[in-house]
Structure 1
């Protein structure tokens, strides 16, 4: 439209100039006829002039600036001048016509075009807006339903159909996909629960039979050692099964009962339980109070796993330090050197210890619980020089600052 506006400007200007020139030639011819008939002609100020001259002059067409008394300003005129012998007298005839200024033409065209563009914009904007709202309404409605969709729900995803072919295809595929996801989730959940339940019974029977064989007293020392090793393996397998089930439940968001938990109280209670099992000193330093809203069983598992990991990997039964400060919990145990792959310490089945009772899932459960409640778990190692001795310390920290209720 801008290009066509410029073209229209020049085209209109050329047309006006041609029309003015045609008018000038027509007026000059009229004056010549009047002079031939009447022999005289009265001038009209700046518009028409007739005067007698001695010499012939060529016809000339040009622009000129002339003061216009009616407008009280200098105006631009198109002027046609030339001589003509009429009844034996040589007359110079000058006719003029005021030219519409280019600026006026330009302003008129620009104003017209901008008005048209503005009105077209308003019309198309509201037309497209209303049309797009109607067109996209099913899409955004379905998007909201997808955001609120849960695989744990028994109800199928109900989507709004659309007349748009692409949205209709998307709607159909999403219904198929979400239905399959719900079915797969239910099957996997059922399988996990069945495996957990079915494994516990044969493991318990195996352990009971081994206890019976051992208690009969008709076995030698070698057999006793072998049966004891089997019992340890079965016990470890039961622990592994329970922890895997716990991880699956956390991932499936099956812990929905939340209450305000005092981390300080829970840590103190957990330490009392550990003191009954292990002859290790636990030094608790509390400089702050941490309360979070979470499932009590998960909070207990979190504290138990942190302390259990510290006990299992503690060096020379040194004291374990527990610090609570600035919405952070630190569990510190002695160690000879830093872990070789500290970035993997919270991954499943990662372990550097050779202890058989370690499943490699304790810290991964800690990480999963922290992710579930937006806590931040970290590991670091520091070397402390004390009494001319160098002591290494593994520091496991839980930052509750990003906790969201």
Structure 2
């Protein structure tokens, strides 16, 4: 998955890269264009000087030179004119200097002359550097000004969006308060707010309807089950039934108990999914485990070994904490194949429960799915570990399963 970055940072990064590319390109173009203009200007000066020299020779019929600026020599043949940059010694400066040189051949008064005129290039380069430097400085100052102005403007522009995003993060289906969105004069933000309000209102309505439906179904199922249970108890207490009828009625009674348990667990899963357990309190899981072990010792023949290095203290609903520990221990007891001791180990950040097993699960990745079971245990409805996983997901606990040394291991990691 690609790394996520903030919107302002993303747009600012794009602005910086675009500005950098434009600055480099514009600087390069400015440099070469200015250099071209300066070189054209030097060439025009050389042409003008050359014209004056030729005119002076025609008029006065005299040869003169002013090294290294003007040099005139007689030649045998006419050759093409030549422009070039050359480094020669300048007597006035007493050092080597860079010159732009024009060499032409002219036929004047029945004689061919080689006319060479030169002009300084060093000063032109200094002018070029000064122009480019000053332009770059202006570009950089303007660029940073526009960058910070653009960032501040964008922050103000996107402020309603960011505020509404925080409101959406705090939105809760269980809260009676409607979502409060900041209005904006930007059409797209205004339309987004309208759609968010419509969506959240519909979600809350659907949630309330689903919640009401679940509660009604749970309540309505419990009533006829209780009536059926009462009638069955009456039949059982009536001594006129045969042994065969007693067995059939006892089987029906077990199915009713199973149906009642199934209804309770499905209702619990639905409430956990709907985040209806929002009563947070500090729960000492180590103390809770000790109490649960004592309770299970009264109804189970399995021995339980408990070792705690440090108390586990978490913030969660106390009722869900009780169900979490109860399901883990009861699952270990139910599937402890060789009746070996069940081992429970805790430290500050984790809880490990292990029980003996004959073989590794065929599909451990399906272990926490609803109604999944790999045994023929009639007393299991396949929801105990599903509830464990739901509770762990609700509080960002991590639950892992592994099988090693002929033992099943369940580990809870608390953040």
With the length of structure 2 as denominator, give the TM-score of the two structures. 0.79
CA distance in 2, matches of 1:119, 1:259: 56
**Equivalent position to 2:139, from 103, 117, 137:** 117
Question: CA 1:331/1:124 → structure 2, altered by over 3 Å: closer, same or farther?
Answer: closer
After TM superposition, give the deviation of residue 398 of structure 1 in Å.
Answer: 2.8
Q: Secondary structure at the match of 1:237?
A: helix
Equivalence for 1:386: none
Q: Secondary structure at the match of 1:155?
A: coil
After TM superposition, give the deviation of residue 154 of structure 1 in Å.
Answer: 1.9
For the pair 1:303 / 2:325, whether they are aligned, the reply is yes
For the pair 1:158 / 2:180, whether they are aligned, the reply is yes
For the pair 1:396 / 2:390, whether they are aligned, the reply is no
After TM superposition, give the deviation of residue 42 of structure 1 in Å.
Answer: 8.3
Alignment of 1:304-383 (within 5 A): 304-315=326-337, 318-327=339-348, 328-383=350-405
The 8 Å contact of residues 345 and 353 in structure 2, kept in 1 or not, is answered as no
For the pair 1:27 / 2:52, whether they are aligned, the reply is yes
Equivalence for 2:40: 15
The count of corresponding residues between Structure 1 and Structure 2 is 383
The 8 Å contact of residues 370 and 376 in structure 1, kept in 2 or not, is answered as yes
The 8 Å contact of residues 289 and 325 in structure 2, kept in 1 or not, is answered as yes
After TM superposition, give the deviation of residue 334 of structure 1 in Å.
Answer: 3.3
Question: CA 1:309/1:57 → structure 2, altered by over 3 Å: closer, same or farther?
Answer: closer
CA distance in 1, matches of 2:237, 2:133: 107
What is the CA deviation profile of residues 354-401 of structure 1, one whole-angstrom value per residue up to 9, with x for unaligned ones?
Answer: 233322111111222222233332333344xxxxxxxx43x232333x
Q: Secondary structure at the match of 2:173?
A: coil
**Equivalent position to 1:142, from 155, 164, 185:** 164
Gaps of 5+ in 2: 1-25
The 8 Å contact of residues 78 and 99 in structure 1, kept in 2 or not, is answered as no
What is the CA deviation profile of residues 216-249 of structure 1, one whole-angstrom value per residue up to 9, with x for unaligned ones?
Answer: 2232222222221221111111111111122222
Question: CA 1:44/1:357 → structure 2, altered by over 3 Å: closer, same or farther?
Answer: closer
What is the CA deviation profile of residues 85-129 of structure 1, one whole-angstrom value per residue up to 9, with x for unaligned ones?
Answer: 49xxx8979674423347446534542552353244234323432
Alignment of 1:68-107 (within 5 A): 68-75=90-97, 76=99, 78=101, 84-85=108-109, 96-101=117-122, 103-104=125-126, 106-107=128-129
Alignment of 1:194-213 (within 5 A): 194-213=216-235
The 8 Å contact of residues 302 and 333 in structure 2, kept in 1 or not, is answered as no
Answer with 294-303 or 199-208: which moved more.
Answer: 294-303
Question: CA 1:125/1:365 → structure 2, altered by over 3 Å: closer, same or farther?
Answer: same
Q: Secondary structure at the match of 1:377?
A: strand
Question: CA 1:112/1:329 → structure 2, altered by over 3 Å: closer, same or farther?
Answer: closer
For the pair 1:193 / 2:215, whether they are aligned, the reply is yes
The 8 Å contact of residues 35 and 128 in structure 2, kept in 1 or not, is answered as no
The 8 Å contact of residues 310 and 333 in structure 1, kept in 2 or not, is answered as yes
For the pair 1:273 / 2:298, whether they are aligned, the reply is no
Answer with 364-373 or 110-119: which moved more.
Answer: 110-119
Equivalence for 1:254: 276
The 8 Å contact of residues 322 and 329 in structure 1, kept in 2 or not, is answered as no
Question: CA 1:229/1:12 → structure 2, altered by over 3 Å: closer, same or farther?
Answer: same
With the length of structure 1 as denominator, give the TM-score of the two structures. 0.80
The 8 Å contact of residues 46 and 119 in structure 2, kept in 1 or not, is answered as no
For the pair 1:232 / 2:244, whether they are aligned, the reply is no
Question: CA 1:396/1:298 → structure 2, altered by over 3 Å: closer, same or farther?
Answer: farther
CA distance in 2, matches of 1:35, 1:331: 118
The 8 Å contact of residues 162 and 168 in structure 1, kept in 2 or not, is answered as yes
Q: Report which of the two structures shows the higher radius of gyration computed on alpha carbons.
A: 1
Question: CA 1:56/1:374 → structure 2, altered by over 3 Å: closer, same or farther?
Answer: closer
After TM superposition, give the deviation of residue 29 of structure 1 in Å.
Answer: 5.4
CA distance in 1, matches of 2:114, 2:307: 114
After TM superposition, give the deviation of residue 66 of structure 1 in Å.
Answer: 4.9
The 8 Å contact of residues 336 and 342 in structure 2, kept in 1 or not, is answered as no
- Name the Cα RMSD after superposition: 3.4
The 8 Å contact of residues 312 and 347 in structure 2, kept in 1 or not, is answered as no
CA distance in 2, matches of 1:315, 1:58: 115
